[in-house]
Amino acid sequence: MIIERQEDVTDAVLSAMSGAKNARFKEIMDSFVRHIHAFAREVKLTEEEWSQAVDYVAKLGQLTNDTHNEVVLCSDAIGLSTLVCLLNNGNEGNTETAAALLGPFWRMHSPKTANGGSIVRSPTPGAPLLANCLVRNGKGEPLAGVEVDVWHSSPVGMYENQDKEQVDMNLRGKFVTDAQGRFSFRSVKPGCYPVPVTGPVGDMLRAQERHPYRPAHIHFLLYKPGYKTLITQVFVDKDEYLESDVVFGVTKRLVGDYKKRSDPAPSPEIFGEWCSLDYTFVMEPGEATLPVPPIK
Protein backbone atom coordinates (compact mmCIF):
# COMPACT_ATOMS: atom_id res chain seq x y z
CA MET A 1 0.00 0.00 0.00
CA ILE A 2 1.33 3.42 -0.93
CA ILE A 3 0.79 5.81 1.95
CA GLU A 4 -1.07 8.99 1.05
CA ARG A 5 -1.93 10.46 4.47
CA GLN A 6 -0.78 9.90 8.05
CA GLU A 7 -4.07 8.08 8.74
CA ASP A 8 -3.10 5.38 6.21
CA VAL A 9 -0.06 4.17 8.14
CA THR A 10 -1.99 2.30 10.83
CA ASP A 11 -4.06 0.29 8.33
CA ALA A 12 -0.97 -0.42 6.24
CA VAL A 13 0.87 -1.84 9.26
CA LEU A 14 -2.12 -3.89 10.43
CA SER A 15 -2.50 -5.31 6.96
CA ALA A 16 1.23 -6.13 6.70
CA MET A 17 1.01 -8.01 10.03
CA SER A 18 -2.19 -9.87 9.19
CA GLY A 19 -0.45 -13.08 8.14
CA ALA A 20 0.73 -13.93 11.65
CA LYS A 21 -0.15 -17.57 12.32
CA ASN A 22 -0.18 -17.34 16.09
CA ALA A 23 -3.59 -15.83 16.94
CA ARG A 24 -2.55 -14.49 20.35
CA PHE A 25 0.62 -12.91 18.92
CA LYS A 26 -1.52 -11.29 16.22
CA GLU A 27 -4.05 -9.99 18.74
CA ILE A 28 -1.32 -8.46 20.91
CA MET A 29 0.61 -6.89 18.04
CA ASP A 30 -2.51 -5.46 16.36
CA SER A 31 -3.60 -3.85 19.61
CA PHE A 32 -0.09 -2.61 20.36
CA VAL A 33 0.20 -0.92 16.96
CA ARG A 34 -3.28 0.63 17.18
CA HIS A 35 -2.59 2.01 20.66
CA ILE A 36 0.94 3.28 20.02
CA HIS A 37 -0.16 5.00 16.81
CA ALA A 38 -3.12 6.55 18.67
CA PHE A 39 -0.74 7.67 21.41
CA ALA A 40 1.59 9.37 18.89
CA ARG A 41 -1.41 11.13 17.34
CA GLU A 42 -2.86 12.17 20.70
CA VAL A 43 0.33 13.81 21.97
CA LYS A 44 1.43 14.91 18.46
CA LEU A 45 4.81 13.28 19.07
CA THR A 46 7.64 15.35 17.59
CA GLU A 47 10.63 13.82 15.80
CA GLU A 48 12.89 14.97 18.60
CA GLU A 49 10.66 13.35 21.23
CA TRP A 50 10.53 10.12 19.22
CA SER A 51 14.32 10.13 19.04
CA GLN A 52 14.56 10.70 22.82
CA ALA A 53 12.14 7.82 23.40
CA VAL A 54 14.21 5.49 21.22
CA ASP A 55 17.32 6.50 23.13
CA TYR A 56 15.51 5.91 26.42
CA VAL A 57 14.41 2.39 25.48
CA ALA A 58 17.91 1.57 24.20
CA LYS A 59 19.37 2.68 27.54
CA LEU A 60 16.94 0.41 29.43
CA GLY A 61 18.40 -2.53 27.51
CA GLN A 62 22.02 -1.41 27.78
CA LEU A 63 21.73 -1.13 31.56
CA THR A 64 20.22 -4.61 31.91
CA ASN A 65 22.64 -7.37 32.81
CA ASP A 66 22.96 -10.44 35.05
CA THR A 67 22.65 -8.40 38.24
CA HIS A 68 20.35 -5.53 37.28
CA ASN A 69 17.18 -5.31 35.18
CA GLU A 70 16.31 -1.74 34.19
CA VAL A 71 13.53 -2.94 31.86
CA VAL A 72 11.63 -4.61 34.72
CA LEU A 73 12.28 -1.55 36.89
CA CYS A 74 10.73 0.70 34.24
CA SER A 75 7.66 -1.55 33.93
CA ASP A 76 7.35 -1.45 37.73
CA ALA A 77 7.71 2.33 38.00
CA ILE A 78 4.93 3.01 35.48
CA GLY A 79 2.58 0.58 37.27
CA LEU A 80 2.50 -1.92 34.40
CA SER A 81 3.87 -4.83 36.46
CA THR A 82 1.27 -4.33 39.18
CA LEU A 83 -1.52 -3.95 36.60
CA VAL A 84 -0.54 -7.22 34.86
CA CYS A 85 -0.37 -8.94 38.26
CA LEU A 86 -3.84 -7.74 39.30
CA LEU A 87 -5.34 -8.61 35.90
CA ASN A 88 -4.12 -12.18 36.20
CA ASN A 89 -4.84 -12.96 39.83
CA GLY A 90 -7.82 -12.73 42.18
CA ASN A 91 -10.41 -14.08 39.77
CA GLU A 92 -8.98 -12.08 36.86
CA GLY A 93 -8.89 -8.82 38.74
CA ASN A 94 -12.46 -9.01 40.11
CA THR A 95 -11.63 -9.92 43.70
CA GLU A 96 -8.83 -9.10 46.07
CA THR A 97 -5.65 -11.08 45.51
CA ALA A 98 -2.70 -12.04 47.64
CA ALA A 99 -0.36 -11.70 44.66
CA ALA A 100 2.05 -8.84 43.99
CA LEU A 101 4.71 -7.95 41.45
CA LEU A 102 7.90 -10.04 41.35
CA GLY A 103 10.32 -7.10 41.22
CA PRO A 104 13.79 -7.21 39.71
CA PHE A 105 15.64 -9.08 42.46
CA TRP A 106 14.35 -12.66 42.55
CA ARG A 107 17.16 -15.17 42.01
CA MET A 108 16.76 -18.87 41.40
CA HIS A 109 18.58 -21.39 43.59
CA SER A 110 18.23 -19.69 46.96
CA PRO A 111 19.89 -21.82 49.65
CA LYS A 112 17.62 -24.56 50.99
CA THR A 113 17.05 -23.75 54.64
CA ALA A 114 15.41 -25.87 57.36
CA ASN A 115 12.23 -24.56 58.92
CA GLY A 116 13.09 -22.13 61.72
CA GLY A 117 16.55 -21.52 60.20
CA SER A 118 18.13 -18.13 59.62
CA ILE A 119 18.58 -16.42 56.26
CA VAL A 120 21.07 -13.96 57.76
CA ARG A 121 24.28 -15.33 56.20
CA SER A 122 26.65 -12.44 56.97
CA PRO A 123 26.57 -9.78 59.70
CA THR A 124 23.50 -7.64 58.99
CA PRO A 125 22.14 -4.80 61.13
CA GLY A 126 18.47 -4.63 62.18
CA ALA A 127 16.01 -5.96 64.74
CA PRO A 128 15.84 -9.77 64.81
CA LEU A 129 12.72 -11.07 63.09
CA LEU A 130 10.92 -14.37 63.55
CA ALA A 131 8.42 -15.16 60.81
CA ASN A 132 5.79 -17.89 61.27
CA CYS A 133 3.79 -18.54 58.16
CA LEU A 134 0.94 -20.82 57.16
CA VAL A 135 0.03 -21.84 53.62
CA ARG A 136 -3.49 -23.08 52.91
CA ASN A 137 -5.88 -23.53 50.03
CA GLY A 138 -9.16 -21.68 49.48
CA LYS A 139 -11.02 -24.22 51.66
CA GLY A 140 -8.76 -23.48 54.61
CA GLU A 141 -6.87 -26.77 54.34
CA PRO A 142 -3.13 -26.65 55.05
CA LEU A 143 -0.84 -27.23 52.09
CA ALA A 144 2.20 -29.39 52.81
CA GLY A 145 5.27 -29.57 50.58
CA VAL A 146 4.99 -26.03 49.18
CA GLU A 147 8.41 -24.70 48.14
CA VAL A 148 8.75 -21.13 49.36
CA ASP A 149 11.44 -18.71 48.23
CA VAL A 150 12.00 -15.81 50.59
CA TRP A 151 14.11 -12.75 49.81
CA HIS A 152 14.44 -9.20 51.07
CA SER A 153 16.76 -6.23 51.24
CA SER A 154 18.91 -5.49 54.26
CA PRO A 155 17.75 -2.73 56.62
CA VAL A 156 20.50 -0.65 54.98
CA GLY A 157 18.31 -0.73 51.89
CA MET A 158 20.20 -3.03 49.53
CA TYR A 159 19.75 -6.58 48.25
CA GLU A 160 22.85 -8.76 48.55
CA ASN A 161 23.47 -8.58 44.79
CA GLN A 162 23.77 -4.78 45.10
CA ASP A 163 25.97 -4.72 48.17
CA LYS A 164 29.60 -5.82 48.57
CA GLU A 165 29.17 -5.95 52.37
CA GLN A 166 26.76 -8.90 52.14
CA VAL A 167 27.74 -12.44 51.18
CA ASP A 168 26.16 -14.14 48.21
CA MET A 169 22.54 -15.14 48.97
CA ASN A 170 22.34 -13.16 52.22
CA LEU A 171 18.67 -12.68 53.20
CA ARG A 172 17.53 -15.31 50.72
CA GLY A 173 16.32 -18.82 51.47
CA LYS A 174 14.15 -21.66 50.23
CA PHE A 175 11.78 -23.39 52.66
CA VAL A 176 9.30 -26.27 52.40
CA THR A 177 6.01 -26.26 54.30
CA ASP A 178 5.54 -29.07 56.82
CA ALA A 179 2.52 -31.39 57.20
CA GLN A 180 0.58 -28.56 58.89
CA GLY A 181 1.32 -26.19 55.99
CA ARG A 182 3.77 -24.16 58.08
CA PHE A 183 7.16 -22.64 57.41
CA SER A 184 9.17 -20.33 59.60
CA PHE A 185 12.45 -18.48 59.46
CA ARG A 186 14.69 -16.03 61.25
CA SER A 187 15.94 -12.83 59.68
CA VAL A 188 16.11 -9.12 60.43
CA LYS A 189 13.24 -6.67 60.07
CA PRO A 190 13.64 -5.10 56.62
CA GLY A 191 13.75 -1.34 56.05
CA CYS A 192 12.33 0.83 53.29
CA TYR A 193 14.69 1.44 50.39
CA PRO A 194 14.99 3.39 47.18
CA VAL A 195 14.87 1.59 43.84
CA PRO A 196 18.03 2.15 41.76
CA VAL A 197 17.98 5.69 40.36
CA THR A 198 21.25 5.96 38.43
CA GLY A 199 19.67 5.00 35.09
CA PRO A 200 16.81 6.19 32.88
CA VAL A 201 14.16 5.17 35.43
CA GLY A 202 15.81 7.51 37.95
CA ASP A 203 15.74 10.28 35.30
CA MET A 204 12.01 9.72 34.83
CA LEU A 205 11.27 9.76 38.58
CA ARG A 206 13.21 13.02 39.05
CA ALA A 207 11.43 14.63 36.10
CA GLN A 208 8.11 13.65 37.68
CA GLU A 209 9.24 14.83 41.14
CA ARG A 210 8.55 11.36 42.58
CA HIS A 211 10.45 9.84 45.48
CA PRO A 212 12.14 6.50 44.69
CA TYR A 213 11.16 4.57 47.87
CA ARG A 214 9.50 1.24 48.41
CA PRO A 215 7.95 0.53 51.82
CA ALA A 216 9.83 -2.19 53.73
CA HIS A 217 8.73 -5.69 52.70
CA ILE A 218 9.67 -9.33 52.35
CA HIS A 219 9.20 -11.14 49.04
CA PHE A 220 7.74 -14.65 48.79
CA LEU A 221 7.37 -17.05 45.87
CA LEU A 222 5.28 -20.16 46.67
CA TYR A 223 5.40 -23.14 44.32
CA LYS A 224 3.45 -26.39 44.42
CA PRO A 225 2.32 -28.47 41.44
CA GLY A 226 -1.47 -28.16 41.00
CA TYR A 227 -1.53 -24.58 42.37
CA LYS A 228 -0.94 -21.24 40.69
CA THR A 229 2.50 -20.06 41.72
CA LEU A 230 1.94 -17.31 44.28
CA ILE A 231 4.38 -14.41 43.97
CA THR A 232 3.88 -11.80 46.63
CA GLN A 233 5.30 -9.39 49.19
CA VAL A 234 4.35 -8.71 52.81
CA PHE A 235 4.79 -5.08 53.79
CA VAL A 236 5.80 -3.65 57.15
CA ASP A 237 2.76 -1.94 58.69
CA LYS A 238 3.23 1.72 59.65
CA ASP A 239 5.97 2.19 57.04
CA GLU A 240 5.99 5.82 55.93
CA TYR A 241 5.89 4.82 52.24
CA LEU A 242 2.92 2.40 52.38
CA GLU A 243 0.66 4.93 50.64
CA SER A 244 3.19 6.00 48.02
CA ASP A 245 5.14 2.89 46.95
CA VAL A 246 7.13 3.95 43.88
CA VAL A 247 6.07 0.74 42.11
CA PHE A 248 2.41 0.67 43.30
CA GLY A 249 2.72 -2.78 44.91
CA VAL A 250 0.78 -2.28 48.17
CA THR A 251 -2.71 -3.73 48.56
CA LYS A 252 -4.51 -3.98 51.93
CA ARG A 253 -4.20 -7.76 51.97
CA LEU A 254 -0.40 -7.48 51.85
CA VAL A 255 0.16 -5.27 54.88
CA GLY A 256 1.65 -7.58 57.51
CA ASP A 257 1.42 -7.45 61.28
CA TYR A 258 5.08 -6.98 62.23
CA LYS A 259 4.88 -6.92 66.05
CA LYS A 260 7.56 -5.33 68.23
CA ARG A 261 8.27 -7.81 71.06
CA SER A 262 10.13 -7.61 74.33
CA ASP A 263 9.05 -10.99 75.78
CA PRO A 264 11.67 -13.79 75.59
CA ALA A 265 12.00 -14.95 71.97
CA PRO A 266 11.38 -18.64 71.23
CA SER A 267 14.93 -18.87 69.92
CA PRO A 268 18.04 -19.08 72.09
CA GLU A 269 19.94 -16.91 69.59
CA ILE A 270 17.72 -13.86 70.05
CA PHE A 271 18.19 -11.53 73.03
CA GLY A 272 16.44 -8.25 73.79
CA GLU A 273 13.86 -6.70 71.53
CA TRP A 274 12.74 -8.58 68.49
CA CYS A 275 9.96 -8.57 65.96
CA SER A 276 7.45 -11.24 64.95
CA LEU A 277 5.48 -11.71 61.76
CA ASP A 278 2.57 -14.17 61.49
CA TYR A 279 1.11 -14.44 58.04
CA THR A 280 -1.21 -16.79 56.13
CA PHE A 281 -0.85 -17.34 52.39
CA VAL A 282 -3.73 -18.75 50.34
CA MET A 283 -2.92 -20.57 47.10
CA GLU A 284 -5.43 -20.93 44.25
CA PRO A 285 -5.66 -24.07 42.12
CA GLY A 286 -3.90 -23.59 38.79
CA GLU A 287 -0.68 -24.05 36.94
CA ALA A 288 2.63 -24.09 38.79
CA THR A 289 5.09 -22.18 36.62
CA LEU A 290 8.20 -20.26 37.46
CA PRO A 291 8.92 -16.79 36.08
CA VAL A 292 12.10 -16.06 34.17
CA PRO A 293 14.52 -14.80 36.84
CA PRO A 294 15.16 -11.06 36.25
CA ILE A 295 18.75 -11.56 37.48
CA LYS A 296 21.06 -14.59 37.83
Residue 104 as a binder of ligand BEZ (CB under 6 A): the answer is yes
Q: How far is the CB of 247 from ligand BEZ (least distance, A)?
A: 4
The closest alpha carbon to 199, from 69, 48, 52, 78, belongs to 69
Q: Which does 283 bind (CB under 5 to 8 A by kind): Fe ion, ligand BEZ, none?
A: none
Number of Cβ atoms within 10 Å of the Cβ of 256 = 18
Q: How far is the CB of 105 from Fe ion (least distance, A)?
A: 6
User: How many helices, marked H, and strands, marked E, lie in the chain?
Assistant: 7, 11
Residue 76 as a binder of ligand BEZ (CB under 6 A): the answer is yes
**Amino acid identity at 204:** M
The beta strands (E) that lie in 105-196 are given as 128-137, 147-151, 172-176, 182-188, 193-194
Q: Segment contacting Fe ion (CB under 5 A): 62-70, 98-106, 120-128, 249-257? A: 98-106
Residue 174 as a binder of ligand BEZ (CB under 6 A): the answer is no
Q: Which does 106 bind (CB under 5 to 8 A by kind): ligand BEZ, Fe ion, none?
A: none
Q: For Fe ion, which is the closer residue by CB, 213 or 281?
A: 213
Q: Which does 128 bind (CB under 5 to 8 A by kind): ligand BEZ, Fe ion, none?
A: none
Q: For ligand BEZ, which is the closer residue by CB, 86 or 195?
A: 195
Chosen residue from 60, 68, 69, 73 binding ligand BEZ by CB under 6 A:
73
Distance CA 91, CA 57 (A): 33
**Amino acid identity at 177:** T
Residue 74 as a binder of ligand BEZ (CB under 6 A): the answer is no
Q: How far is the CB of 104 from ligand BEZ (least distance, A)?
A: 5
Q: Which residues pair with 219 in a beta bridge?
A: 151, 233
Q: Which residues pair with 235 in a beta bridge?
A: 217, 255
Range 99-118, binding Fe ion (CB under 5 A) = 103
Residue 282 as a binder of ligand BEZ (CB under 6 A): the answer is no
Range 185-214, binding ligand BEZ (CB under 6 A) = 195, 214
The beta strands (E) that lie in 165-286 are given as 172-176, 182-188, 193-194, 213-214, 217-223, 230-236, 255-256, 258-261, 274-283
Cα angle, residue 226 at apex, residues 223 and 227 outer, rounded to 5°: 50
Cα angle, residue 188 at apex, residues 186 and 194 outer, rounded to 5°: 140
Residue 295 as a binder of ligand BEZ (CB under 6 A): the answer is no
Contact footprint for ligand BEZ (CB under 6 A)? 73, 76, 103-105, 195, 214, 247
